[in-house]
A and B are shown apart, each in its own frame.
Chain A
């Protein structure tokens, strides 16, 4: 079955740039999406179609994709950005959707 691979954790100091990667064989042909999930809350979409930002999401959140890797970048990370971040995509068939294992971002 199709898999998306993320690092388990990323840690930055406030004001630094955080980068979270997501690798998958179908990413050259399929969009990546990113969700933020704070403790005890439902996920929130922060990036769609590789690099688009939904309304209400701060400009410090950006996304990119190249080859088999998608990247979520948080420029000038803030303490309130501390959360789990999960990438999402579809396999080549589009029938199956998949989440990455999630990355815990610590801003400390």
Chain B
């Protein structure tokens, strides 16, 4: 079955960088788009970024555009989120999610990794 396992979260100071990873298994990674979605403590879900199945297109939420970069390594079945110039408001659980093969929506999710931006 589909398995998505995020890693790389932790405590980081404002202005620093962090890279999250998402290891995918149980499906053909190279044929699916992938998302990052985050959830600040006690808040709702916030879509962060999407990358197309072949990496040809990437789109970002306005709140992270220019600071975050989504990428994928097909050879490693891994999705990444490079987060630069981190702010306190980036503190959240970050989920990776697979995009449905039939529409522009996440259909399977990982369990998330917590990123805390604090001095």
Q: In the bound complex, what is the Cα–Cα distance between A102 and B43 (angstroms)? A: 8
Interface stretch among A12-20, A29-37, A57-65? A29-37
Q: Which residues of A contact B11 (CB under 8 A)?
A: none
Interface stretch among A43-51, A66-74, A75-83? A43-51
> Number of contacts between A and B (CB, 8 Å)?
56
Interface residues of B in 70-119 (CB under 8 A from A): 95, 100, 103-107, 109-112
| In the complex, residue of chain B having the shortest beta-carbon distance to the beta carbon of A95 | B59
Given known pairs A45-B106, A48-B103, A90-B104, the reply for A96 and B59 (CB within 8 Å) is yes
| In the complex, residue of chain B having the shortest beta-carbon distance to the beta carbon of A44 | B109
Q: Which residues of B contact A48 (CB under 8 A)?
A: 100, 103, 105, 107
Q: Which residues of A contact B50 (CB under 8 A)?
A: 97
B112 near A42 with CB under 8 A, answer yes
State the interface size on chain B (CB cutoff 8 A).
22
A1 near B109 with CB under 8 A, answer no
Q: Which residues of A contact B106 (CB under 8 A)?
A: 43, 45, 88
A45 near B105 with CB under 8 A, answer yes
B107 near A42 with CB under 8 A, answer no
A: residues with CB less than 8 A from B are: 1, 31, 33, 35, 37, 42-45, 48-49, 54, 84, 86, 88, 90, 94-102
| 11 sample A-B contacts, Cβ–Cβ < 8 Å, listed by A number | A42-B109, A43-B45, A45-B105, A45-B106, A48-B100, A48-B103, A88-B45, A88-B47, A97-B35, A97-B47, A97-B50
